[in-house]
A and B are shown apart, each in its own frame.
Chain A
Amino acid sequence: MAVVWRTDKGEKIYKTPTGQPLTKSARKLADEFDRILSRKMKKVIRELRKEGFFRMKPSLSKYYQLGRSLQFVKDLKLRSKCDPDLENIWRAFYDYAPKLAPRRLPRSQARTVGKRNFFLMCYRLGQLSEETAFTIGSWSNWESIYMVFVGNPQSWKDWERILRWILTKSEFGGRIGRDKLRETLKPVRRIIGKKSKVRRDTTVLTEKELHVLLDSAAKIDDQAVAQS
């Protein structure tokens, strides 16, 4: 159970999930997975090039396109053996296709996969429908939304419904306003976040009930703003 990462000098690092020892068979499997990923990513690059990915300016639609292409990882047989929790694979993409990312691998992610890994964010974005993704509007909006969910892994269970509410509430003049979005995310954090006073499972709520809950949290925020 390991994924191959590479250092600046190109040396291989075998990254296992936290606390797991590296065995020789895991290393061999990781090497095989490394070869497969490398081949797959070359194919992804070729296809993206055809679609004009490299001519596009950095934008949400560009990275949505990348996210769609990365969806293959969830069906890779060997992935379930080498990285069952989709934990270490994202850092490895910087080794196979650094040009797909807008920036070089941040130093903070050289040794451990951060929550803000660019490829992981693209992958999550690629899971959305085209319509939802484009409603988000910009990459920075997506970053803000993504961070709410990634901070509370439990919330991924119901993230698409919550996201729909966020987008509806943040819409202003036909687009998602940056400030409006920031305001909308606050009550979401309060409802599903770690600091929430009570623990909730929103999946048992109907769409209407979920909206009532989130609306009420938003209302409290509005009142606080009005008072101040």
Chain B
Amino acid sequence: MALLNLDAGRAPLADWNRWVDSLMTTYKTELERNVPIVRETAWKSAWVSHIVQKEAIQNSSDALDQNSSDKWCVTFEMSDILPPEFITITDQGTCGLTGRTIVSKDELDNLEKTDLQKYQQERWARFEALSFPNIDPRGRGSKGQGKWTFIGASDSKTIVYDSLRRDGIYRIGSWQDGRELLQKPPEGFFAEEMIKKDFGLKPLEKVGTRIVIVKPRKELWEGFLPILKSPLARYIGETWWELLKNGALVFIKWREHSARVEIPPYYIDNYIEKNKEETWIIKDCELNWTKNPLAKVKELTVIRSKTMIPEGFNGIAIQRNGMKICGFDVQTENPTITSEIAASIYGWITFNEEGEKELRAIEHTTHYDFGNAIGTFGFHVFGKNGWLIKEIRKFAEQRLGLGPIGKGKSSLSDILAINKLNKFANRNSLGGHGRPVGTLHPEPPTPKKEIRIKMPKPVFPHLETRRVENEEIVKGITISIINDSDIQRKVKLTLVLKTASRKGIPERVLKEFVAQELCIVARKESEVFGPYEVLFAKHRFKDGTYVIEGEIVLLEGDVLDEKFGKGMVLDQERELVYLNEDPPTGGGLFEFIDRVEFKDEKTLQYRVIEKDDKYRIQINTLHPAYKHIEEIDSLLSDYKLKTGTNVPNPIMDYEIGIGAEAIAHYDLKKEVNLIRNEEKRNRFIEQRKRDEKSFFLDAMEQASRIAQEIRHEIL
């Protein structure tokens, strides 16, 4: 290519400030997605402090000097007057920013390939560079971009850093508002004078490094206050609890106050002992990760506490080298764990050195998440039906008694699939169960009532189901009355939320939205009441079924008139809401679809079990056809999560495919309603009668079985 022969090497224009802002936005997105503690309303404004503490402690702990006589310690300090002029982050017990100040890119590249020890020693140069990572596989930082967050945390995009080394060299450097680096960072006396003059700070007395964030952003310095119970301390506790438990010292200082960051109580042995209700501990467990069989889980601890655990500490903390990367929601693929129960479950997972190496490879550059695309270590451990999900499921079943042991998992797609299959079976009068939704002998449509309620379906948090979880909101509840008659009517309109009726148990009204007497003019619609919404808060609502019910009662007329007499309930509309429980599957031929492991007949895709005139479909989760579908489903779910768009549901489609086959078999054995051509149908029935030994039906089943086995072999 001729173009390649031309001289190149002209640096592109770069606006560092914009680049840093964009980086901070990426961090913020990851933070909001993965760190619930930052979502706590009171502290939303301190999100930058979470990023800064994570990056600062990470950099410092990677520079830990094992031979230092000083104890490793990090101190976050804010200047006295608000808004503060600067914030410092100082460490000791580290080796400081060793190495030369000016090292060319080629030289660093060369060292990375040829002399790893020297490469690691060039800390000053790497700190000032972009994307020269720490290559120590045990290092917490790994991408060489954390320091940019310090620049991003400054309103003036300015940071100053000074470092004292073991060899006594004291040096100062800075990044000033996009003007990039100092040509020649001052050392010794000049450096000491500068730091005194510009910030009134004493030069470092102990070996280590200090970062000065000049004109810190509000979202950073607000993390320091109130100083004795600061969000910053809580963030450090949440991220670095493992290091703190091992004796690490972190201080937060402002004016004359100094607070040592404490370990969150949930990780203190005494607290665990006192508050645990159930635990699940696995140690040194192989993961059977074929790409690196040495990767193991060092420890998985799952604790069900007697008390609620705050959202930030909920779930399983995924730890790498003492740092919490993110939390894992215990409800993932474990529908038996309700939100109420999940709120009291927490724990952690740590890995051996090989496991951490694998984790590091898939860790996001922000250190707030892992990639778990199919085929990666992340998918194997945290992905769909991954190691962690299975362990949590075992904990739920064996320790909490949630979900019958041996019964497979069921999810929304199973319910949707079964509803669609039952609807089809009912429409075609198969099985003689459930409500006929028929088109074969359709009943005449019920005429609309003259005076009726208009209550559109409320907006449920999940489009396809009436199931809601705690803290979710059912919105858009509206009601109005339509009077199609020629007479004005006086009515009482009520709209309430109540418990669903159970046999002999009166319903309990929990919330009254509307209770109004209205005059509805002839041929008119009343005003629209609402929209109302219901927040299914954990402390107010128990799991179960609730009803949003609208009713109109006539307030005038002859009480003896059975059409428009006083007291007549003219119309009623109800919307059922299922809190933390699945809506029942529609009545019909099938009872449910169950996904289980076929330990004996691995080659089969499914089997149909008949019980009390009902059918249950069991789907083999070990069959490769299912596994493929599950992987596609996982990919699509990721896509849906990231883009928020609606995507197809491959597992439901797979189940419907199997259900369709089961319906076809059923129909040919019994009613033969699905052979639409009358002549062919009669001929088939005749032939079936003659087939006394059911040869054809057996052959049909054998063919299906063989096809499933072929799929197993080919896939």
Contact = CB atoms under 8 A, between A and B. Distances in A.
Nearest to B560: A216
Given A153-B504, A202-B567, A22 B560 contact: no
A84 B542 contact: yes
Contact of B567 (A86, A197, A213): A213
A137 interface: no
Nearest to A213: B559
Interface in B537-590: 542-544, 551, 553, 555, 559-560, 562, 565-569, 572, 581
A21 B336 contact: yes
Given A24-B304, A24-B401, A197-B562, A153 B507 contact: yes
A204 B542 contact: no
Interface residues of A, number: 32
Contacts of A23: 340-341, 400-402
A212 interface: yes
A84 B508 contact: yes
B112 interface: no
Interface stretch (A12-20, A37-45, A174-182): A12-20
B306 A25 contact: yes
A213 B560 contact: yes
B555 A1 contact: no
A201 interface: yes
Contacts of B555: 204
B505 A205 contact: no
B499 interface: yes
B508 A199 contact: no
Interface string A209-228: 11011001000000000000
Contacts of A200: 565, 567-569
A87 interface: yes
B505 A204 contact: no
A85 B402 contact: no
A115 B504 CA distance: 7
A201 B569 contact: yes
B472 interface: no
A198 B566 CA distance: 12
Contacts of B506: 85, 153-154, 156
A97 interface: no
Contacts of B581: 19
B653 interface: no
A213 B551 CA distance: 21
Interface in A146-197: 150, 153-154, 156, 197
| Chain A contact surface mostly | loop
Contacts of B390: none
A22 B402 CA distance: 8
Given A84-B508, A85-B508, A204-B553, A153 B501 contact: yes
A100 B675 CA distance: 65
Contacts of B499: 84-85
B471 interface: no
Given A17-B544, A115-B504, A153-B504, A22 B569 contact: no
Contacts of A84: 499, 508, 542
B553 A201 contact: yes
Contacts of A210: 559
A85 B560 contact: no
A61 B296 CA distance: 73
Contacts of A201: 492, 551, 553, 567, 569
B633 interface: no
A116 to B, nearest CB: 10
A212 B568 CA distance: 15
Interface string B492-516: 1000000101101111100000000
Contacts of A204: 492, 553, 555, 566-567
B493 to A, nearest CB: 12
A150 B278 contact: no
A47 B504 CA distance: 31
A214 B568 CA distance: 14
Interface string A102-125: 000000000000010000000000
B553 A22 contact: no
A23 B345 CA distance: 13
Nearest to A200: B567
B277 interface: yes
B569 A199 contact: yes
A20 B340 CA distance: 13
Contacts of B542: 1, 20, 84
Contacts of A197: 562
Interface in A18-69: 18-25
Contacts of A209: 559, 566-567
Contact of A198 (B508, B543, B568): B568
Interface in B596-629: none
Contacts of A205: 559, 566-567
Nearest to B340: A23
Contact of A22 (B336, B401, B572): B401
Nearest to A85: B505
A153 to B, nearest CB: 4
Contacts of B567: 200-202, 204-205, 209, 213
A212 B507 contact: no
A17 B565 CA distance: 38
A26 B517 CA distance: 42
B338 to A, nearest CB: 8
Contacts of A154: 506
Residue from the set B278, B340, B559 with the largest chain A CB neighbour count within 10 Å: B559
A88 B551 CA distance: 30
Contacts of B565: 200
A18 B500 CA distance: 11
A200 to B, nearest CB: 5
Interface string B43-59: 00000000000000000
Contacts of A21: 336, 401-402
Contacts of A25: 277, 306, 344
Nearest to B517: A204
Contacts of B502: 17-18, 85, 87
A187 to B, nearest CB: 12
Nearest to B545: A19
8 nearest A-B residue pairs (beta carbon): A199-B569, A153-B506, A201-B553, A200-B567, A213-B559, A209-B559, A85-B505, A115-B504
17 contacts: A18-B502, A21-B401, A21-B402, A24-B401, A25-B306, A84-B499, A153-B505, A153-B506, A153-B507, A156-B506, A198-B568, A201-B553, A204-B553, A204-B555, A205-B566, A213-B559, A216-B560
Given A24-B401, A216-B560, 11 more contacts: A23-B400, A23-B402, A24-B277, A24-B278, A153-B504, A198-B562, A204-B553, A204-B567, A205-B559, A205-B567, A210-B559
